[in-house]
Amino acid sequence: MTHEWGSAHDDETARALCETALGAASGPGVGYADVRLVECEETRLYGRRGGERDERAELNLGVGVRVLLDGVWGFAAAPLGDEADIRAVAARAVAGARAAAWASDERITLPPRPPASGRHATEAAIDPFSHTGRHDLLDRALAAAGAPEKVVSAEVGLNAKRQHRHFADSEGSRQHQHLVESGATVMVFAADEHDVQRRSYPNSFHGNTAGAGWEYVESLRLVEEAARVGEEAVALLTAPPAPSGTGDLVIGPAQMALQIHESCGHALELDRILGDESNFAGASFITPDALGTLRYGSPAVNVTADPTVPGTRGSFAWDDEGTPAGRRELIREGVVVDFLSSRDSAARLGLTPVGAARADGWAYPPVCFATNVFLEPGSGSLEELLDRLGDGYYVDDNRSWSIDERRWNFQFGTEVAYEVRRGRRGRLLKNFSYGGVTPRFWGSVEAVAGPVEFRAFGMPCGKGEPKQWGFLGHGASPTLVRDVRIGVA
Amino acid sequence: MEPYVGGDAAVEALERALAHAKGAEEAEAFLTVRSGEYTRFAGERIHQAQDIVERQLMVRVVVGGRTARAATSRIEDPGAAVRTALALAEGGAGGGRPASHRVAAASPYPELDLWHADVEAWDAAARSRDAAHAMREAAAAGGRAYGMFGRAVTELAVATTAGVRAYAAATEASGALTVKAGGGSSYWCDLGRSAPALGVREAVERTVAEAARSREPVELPDGVQDVVLGPLAAGELLHFFGAFGFTGAAAAAGVGAVARTPGARMAAPSITVADDALADVGLPFPFDIEGVPKRRVDFLTEGRVGEAVTDLATAARLGTPSTGHAHIAREESPAAIPANLVLAPGTTPQDELVAGVERGVYVQRFWYTRVVDPQESTITGVSRDGCFLIENGRITRPVAGKRFTESVFGLLSRVDAVGDRVATQALMNVWNGAATAPALRVRGFRFGPRP
């Protein structure tokens, strides 16, 4: 697909603007500076059954400048107008750092890094911005989702995003990434006089968005799946409630993605571990000395961070402070071996940064966010895993989630649960919930299904003050967990 | 401190946008601008000194009865966005129902006290001094401080082909502080239009002292206790009124409290909750992004279910005028939502709230609360920070955070006293969103899993 859209596709022009910013982000005490110039375009089409369409396109272009002055950070950002705007942004970043410097006893020294420069582009077969037929697909999916009699609300959304992300720093890195995303969401509510039930596809909470072209949306079989979740929402109205007690579970990939996000991804963010997010996003039960010693889960638990895996919202070639992407183990056979770190947080512990500094567009400073944080697959099929389960429950698709600020105690609900008897899926159950304590839960993982069952999901997340969005990838195969507390809500 | 764009330039940009929309039957355009400075600190440093300007000009056009929007950060060139919107509206013909709502016509807007010049003085240097003070005080008490002090100017301008020309600019000041000490902690946050009204230095003193008292908290057993919910814990309950059916979309779909139990008593008579953009607390604002004047919308009046907030689209579906609550959240479809929730204060000082509990728990705030069952208004979350046992009407030992799963309406129906002082917290993912509440005394709050 074409990369030649917008104002920032041309490397020469963008680099000249970045050089202007770097030139202005200087002065006494400035030891490091970087600039991110980002142009982002999104298109969204939403429809509700029986309602109007809402279609929108959004374009934003701006610049964010970060400086390290006497070991203290300053950051400023503004929409891009002309070169004067850029110089003003850089000057504000320096002024902010200078005002903060006298109040800071702790100073940061970044270990030098060799420059890394180049271009990277998402592989996209079908350009989502020139593809036609979205309205037709939306109409058919809405009709399918809303067909059952007791469906009271059906919403379908189709979305795409493309970005030019330019990065330059005072150490010589010059990078341009052209990132493309495509996604869809279906959400159905069914109601009777006693109850309201929800089903979603391809994931709950904003559906799913992939780092890919429109071919991803075409692969979703959206109309057939919309019909399925519509029928399931109605079936849930008369399904028996899930029981309370203790149970063995096979948790499906969508719910596992959320489980990983909340109880692995966030817990392993090094800025949280060091306290930087204590006032807003929270801290972590993991301590800085956990590397190589903290048993997080059973030997079946292997968690990696790998932005080089294509296809999700956590896929990229360099993070938002220019660190090259690479595969890193975070948990090896149940033991913590690395953190999701930025240059700042890694420097404070003398570690090599993982490349997990990420920022929402140009307007926010990079913080530690998950990239593609995956539970590595084990072996076998879902059916084999259910056989191994024996009696228990197969659950998937998140309905509600909550976890404490240390990422220790969690409680999740799922949209669907199926009773499993002697390895066979049986009755549909509603209002399933489970809860636990993070290392105990991961310590109860008995097995993970194989690569053929692996699914990855793109997820939005919030962090920072003011809150910024992070767009991440999490994935897993169905996972067998024993002795889980269920029916907690 | 001045508006980043200003009224004349903002309205001029919108008029230029509308001038490009000649091919549309109707058009509306709005411009949001936020220029904010945020001093984040943690432990012994200011780790994120931020100065951020964001702006978005969005235009909605109606062509052949179909509607589409386009937005740009480049207000110098709104024509490109308008052309995109026109192309989308024309290309979308045939999909969905024709637009049922028109653009807003000119209306008088309420006069509100939005601009507080005192925010000017709370610049980066002053905020850095306050941050240093907080970190020093916490360290002197054997703890560590983490927080954010910030100020901002919010601007909104709206213009429509039906004659709306509206602009307002508002100051904002916000503070949040977590102090950790010896396994315990305390938290404070507040926000509003004025900086001195936050009382930052007093808040630092209070929070450091509470954190010092919260060392070595004991575990709280599962079970039902009488509680005093501090203003921040009580305010958290307000975040869910949208999910419980107080929105036009829910009312039109026939689900939630307004549609299913209008006029029913869902809370104690001492509980009155409104979305009140005209209040002098929280983040008041005179109109929404469609240019409709905001009005107070009563959700619970003396405990009884009232009405829902609407935008032009949901108001058209319900056959009522819009209440002025149009909103477009990131990565979501447009929806009317509450934006300045206020739980009316009562007359009971906090000491008396506590004195009325023989044995129970003071809960400073909740964390990561999420809806479990909107029908039952059930949420789950954990209590955290400055939480203490109440014994014989007095606050005694600190207690650790504890998970709970409770019905919000159930809790509000068991309130027997309402505090006389309020605190405000931001509403997540809501433009200019805030929730303000006093402390509440609740008879019977279940900690731990539901039986």
Contacts of B328 in chain A (CB under 8 A): 56
Helix axes B78-91, B7-19, angle to 10 degrees: 40
Chain A: give the shortest CA distance to residue B405, in Å. Answer: 6
Chain A: give the shortest CA distance to residue B192, in Å. Answer: 15
Chain A: give the shortest CA distance to residue B211, in Å. Answer: 14
Q: Retrieve residue B336's tokens.
A: 């009317």
Classified as helix, coil or strand, A477 is: coil
Q: Point out the residue among A79, A157, A364 whose CB comes nearest to the CB of B55.
A: A79
- CA dist B155 and B14 (Å) reads 13
- CA dist A90 and A102 (Å) reads 20
Domain assignment of residue A255, yes or no? yes
**A45 plus A60 within the same structural domain:** yes
Is the separation of the CB atoms in A439 and A221 below 8 Å?
Answer: no
Q: Which residues contact B15 (CB under 8 A, 6 or more apart)?
A: B159, B165
Q: Which amino acid is at B17?
A: A
Kindly identify which residue of chain A lies nearest to residue B52, measuring between CA atoms: A77
Q: What is the pLDDT of residues A431-478, one digit of tens each?
A: 999 999 999 999 999 999 999 999 999 999 999 999 999 999 999 999
**A304 plus A175 within the same structural domain:** no
Of the two residues B224 and A11, the one the predictor is more confident about is B224
> In the sheet where B378-384 sits, what is the strand order?
B365-373, B378-384, B403-407
Q: Does B359 touch chain A (CB under 8 A)?
A: no
For tokens 């949420």, the residue is: B379
Classified as helix, coil or strand, A293 is: coil
CA A477 to chain centre: 17
- pLDDT the model gives residue A414: 98
Instruction: Tell me the average pLDDT across B248-261.
Output: 93
Whether B95 has a pLDDT exceeding 70, the answer reads no
Per-position b or e across B296-306, b if 16+ CB within 10 A of its CB: ebbbbbebbbb
β-strand A151-169 against A118-121: which pairing, if any? unpaired
- pLDDT the model gives residue B450: 75
Kindly identify which residue of chain A lies nearest to residue B427, measuring between CA atoms: A467
Q: Retrieve residue B307's tokens.
A: 């009405």
Per-block mean pLDDT, blocks of 10 residues, chain A (489 long):
85 94 96 98 92 91 98 97 92 97 94 96 95 92 96 95 98 97 97 93 94 97 98 98 97 98 97 97 96 97 98 97 98 98 98 97 97 98 98 97 95 97 98 97 98 96 94 97 94
Residue B20 DSSP symbol: T
Kindly identify which residue of chain A lies nearest to residue B372, measuring between CA atoms: A400
Domain assignment of residue A5, yes or no? no
CA A10 to chain centre: 29
Encode A327-350 in three state secondary structure.
CEEEEECCEECCCECCHHHHHHHC
> Hey, are the CB atoms on A488 and B42 less than 8 Å from each other?
no
Nearest 5°: phi and psi at A234? -70, -40
> Hey, are the CB atoms on B66 and A100 less than 8 Å from each other?
no
- For residue B22, count CB atoms less than 10 angstroms from its CB and return exposed for 0-12, middle for 13-18, buried for 19 or more: exposed
**A226 plus A265 within the same structural domain:** no
Encode A122-172 in three state secondary structure.
CCCCCCCCCCCCHHHHHHHHHHHHCCCCCEEEEEEEEEEEEEEEEEEECCC
Is the separation of the CB atoms in B327 and B309 below 8 Å?
Answer: no
- pLDDT the model gives residue B96: 60
Q: Which residues contact B324 (CB under 8 A, 6 or more apart)?
A: B277, B287, B288, B290, B292, B293, B294, B295
Taking alpha carbons only, the member of A374, A8, A299 closest to residue A176 is: A8
Domain assignment of residue A2, yes or no? no
> Hey, are the CB atoms on A76 and B52 less than 8 Å from each other?
yes
Q: Which of B37, B46, B375, B376 to mutate to test the interface with A (most CBs of A within 10 A)?
A: B46
**A325 plus A251 within the same structural domain:** yes
Query: What mean pLDDT value characterizes chain B?
Result: 95
Q: Does B196 touch chain A (CB under 8 A)?
A: no
Q: What is the pLDDT of residues B406-425, one digit of tens each?
A: 999 999 999 999 999 999 99
**A285 plus A321 within the same structural domain:** yes
Domain assignment of residue A30, yes or no? yes
Q: Does A285 touch chain B (CB under 8 A)?
A: no
Q: Which of A244-258, B101-115, B167-181 has the lowest mean pLDDT?
A: B101-115
Please identify, among A171, A206, A238, the residue that sits at the C-terminal boundary of a domain: A238
Taking alpha carbons only, the member of A253, A96, A178, A49 closest to residue B124 is: A96
Chain A: give the shortest CA distance to residue B75, in Å. Answer: 9
For tokens 């058919």, the residue is: A140
- CA dist B81 and B70 (Å) reads 5
Is the separation of the CB atoms in A272 and A281 below 8 Å?
Answer: yes
Chain B: give the shortest CA distance to residue A8, in Å. Answer: 13
Q: What is the DSSP string of B244-257?
A: TT-BHHHHHHT-SH
- CA dist B132 and A453 (Å) reads 52
Domain containing A15 — which CATH number? 3.30.2290.10
- pLDDT the model gives residue B409: 98
Ordered domains of chain B (ranges, CATH): 7-213 (3.30.2290.10), 223-447 (no CATH)
Q: What is the DSSP string of A49-87?
A: TTS-EEEEEEEEEEEEEEEEETTEEEEEEEE--SHHHHH
Q: Point out the residue among A72, A152, A399 whose CB comes nearest to the CB of B254.
A: A152
Chain B: give the shortest CA distance to residue A421, in Å. Answer: 26
The total domain count for chain A is 2
**A216 plus A300 within the same structural domain:** no
Domain assignment of residue A4, yes or no? no
Q: Retrieve residue B174's tokens.
A: 């916000």
Q: Does B384 touch chain A (CB under 8 A)?
A: yes
Taking alpha carbons only, the member of A279, A261, A249 closest to residue A410 is: A261
Can you list the positions of beta strands (E) in A286-386? 303-305, 328-332, 335-336, 357-358, 367-368, 372-375
Domain assignment of residue A65, yes or no? yes
Kindly identify which residue of chain A lies nearest to residue B92, measuring between CA atoms: A135
> Hey, are the CB atoms on B255 and A402 less than 8 Å from each other?
no
Chain A: give the shortest CA distance to residue B347, in Å. Answer: 31
- CA dist A438 and A267 (Å) reads 9
Is the separation of the CB atoms in A251 and A397 below 8 Å?
Answer: no
β-strand A174-191 against A118-121: which pairing, if any? parallel
Q: Point out the residue among B67, B70, B375 whose CB comes nearest to the CB of A57.
A: B70
β-strand B45-63 against A409-421: which pairing, if any? unpaired
Please identify, among A238, A266, A282, the residue that sits at the C-terminal boundary of a domain: A238
Is the separation of the CB atoms in A74 and A93 below 8 Å?
Answer: yes
Q: Retrieve residue A101's tokens.
A: 């410097």
Q: Does B108 touch chain A (CB under 8 A)?
A: no
Kindly identify which residue of chain A lies nearest to residue B368, measuring between CA atoms: A402
- CA dist B147 and B135 (Å) reads 9
Is the separation of the CB atoms in A456 and A374 below 8 Å?
Answer: yes
Kindly identify which residue of chain B lies nearest to residue A143, measuring between CA atoms: B96
**Cα angle A476-A488-A301, degrees, rounded to a multiple of 5:** 25
Helix (H) or strand (E) holding A89: helix A83-101
Please identify, among A238, A273, A291, the residue that sits at the C-terminal boundary of a domain: A238
Q: Point out the residue among A96, A153, A462 whose CB comes nearest to the CB of B50.
A: A96
Domain assignment of residue A302, yes or no? yes
Per-position b or e across A73-83, b if 16+ CB within 10 A of its CB: bbbbbbbbbee
Q: Which residues contact A261 (CB under 8 A, 6 or more apart)?
A: A370, A373, A459, A461, A472, A474
What ranges in B274-332 are assigned the alpha helix state H? 312-318
Q: Which of A5, A55, A246, A342 to mutate to test the interface with B (most CBs of B within 10 A)?
A: A55
**A255 plus A400 within the same structural domain:** yes
**A174 plus A257 within the same structural domain:** no
Domain assignment of residue A164, yes or no? yes
Is the separation of the CB atoms in B27 and B62 below 8 Å?
Answer: yes
Helix (H) or strand (E) holding B80: helix B78-91
- pLDDT the model gives residue B426: 96
Q: What is the pLDDT of residues B26-83, one digit of tens each?
A: 999 999 999 999 999 999 999 999 999 999 999 999 998 888 999 999 999 999 999 9
Q: What is the pLDDT of residues A322-347, one digit of tens each?
A: 999 999 999 999 999 999 999 999 99
Domain holding A20, by residue range, is: 11-238
Q: Does A278 touch chain B (CB under 8 A)?
A: yes
CA dihedral A108, A111, A112, A115 (to 10 degrees): -100
Beta bridge partners of B168: B156
Taking alpha carbons only, the member of A395, A448, A384 closest to residue A252 is: A395
- pLDDT the model gives residue B306: 98
- pLDDT the model gives residue A4: 86
**A218 plus A257 within the same structural domain:** no
**A396 plus A482 within the same structural domain:** yes
**A295 plus A410 within the same structural domain:** yes
Taking alpha carbons only, the member of B360, B364, B350 closest to residue B391 is: B360
Q: How confident is the model at residue B355 (pLDDT cuts 50, 70, 90)?
A: very high
Contacts of A57 in chain B (CB under 8 A): 69-71, 81, 84-85, 88
The CB density around residue A9, as the number of other CB atoms within 10 Å, is: 16
Size of interface A-B (CB pairs under 8 A): 269
Q: What is the pLDDT of residues A278-301, one digit of tens each?
A: 999 999 999 999 999 999 999 999
The answer for B 224-263 residues in CB contact with A (under 8 A) is 249, 253-255
- pLDDT the model gives residue B69: 96
- CA dist B423 and A418 (Å) reads 44
The CB density around residue B447, as the number of other CB atoms within 10 Å, is: 22
Q: What is the DSSP string of B180-222?
A: EETTEEEEEEEEES-SGGG-HHHHHHHHHHHHHHTSSPBPPPS
Helix (H) or strand (E) holding B136: helix B124-140
**A278 plus A179 within the same structural domain:** no
Greatest alpha-carbon span in chain B: 73
